[in-house]
Structure 1
């Protein structure tokens, strides 16, 4: 599936997922003909959280600081990968573990996206807290900061986007999904 320019040459690239026996592979094919990939099994602790029958999807994009990211939706969590010098690398947190976004199962988050904040596209995690009394959501966006070489991520500034949003509102929909700009996700082939 076509996506943003991920290798920095100004031409859109292609993101893909594949299976080779028991290996699950995330890859990029660039417009110049380069191909690089990484095994989800070997580097992604989030893959261990998947339920039997879950199928991964992936989406990618280029952020306003020039970094290229890939988000792999594993069902219960979304793993963050960076594109660094035509390599895919599993981005880590401050403790050196894979950086995972909760998708509602640990109740620490509900989604991840690449919204435009100010004039730049950023990476952000979302939390949509449900208020059963009012039947609305309080939505918080936390920007994610990447280090200079795009290999380590840390939580940045949090902003409350809505305090009484209805379930069918755009802000709740965005906060409970895995997106990156206008790019479309790719789906892993069935085993």
Structure 2
């Protein structure tokens, strides 16, 4: 919710502020305390807030995973990262396979990682062709990536056990940063709004 602390949308007298991460995960009955203080400037300015988390992760064309798949020039794409009735990621094949280090270098060069190097758990094949993508915190889909035959899982951040899980299953895991992997959808949505003639 970093966007709420910045005043440009309020200063521009915008009607709607679209963000990826909202103030709550799940249903909201009431907003009080610290959460209310986050959105108080919006309430006071009559500025509507729309948080599009999972829809913006998994949209097949505008989503974060789709944007990352575009960057990696993946073909033969299919939904990946099952979460209930929806998928929040994509899987595909590199049109030109990457060497492990080459893929890390591309992610480092093209993503806003805040100056941090992409972390690579290099336990899979040296040549990476088949990739699974779940942006943000996507290591919970490592087993699904292995079952699908992926050479690599590309995601934002890991959990402590991902090192051992990657080593035990023989897959490469690229941890490129939560924020770095979740900006594609917001930019794509902004471009779409501009195409519709909306001021962004």
Which one has the bigger helix percentage? 2
- TM-score normalised to structure 2 length: 0.23
Which one has the bigger strand percentage? 1
For the pair shown, the structure with the greater C-alpha radius of gyration is 2
- TM-score normalised to structure 1 length: 0.24
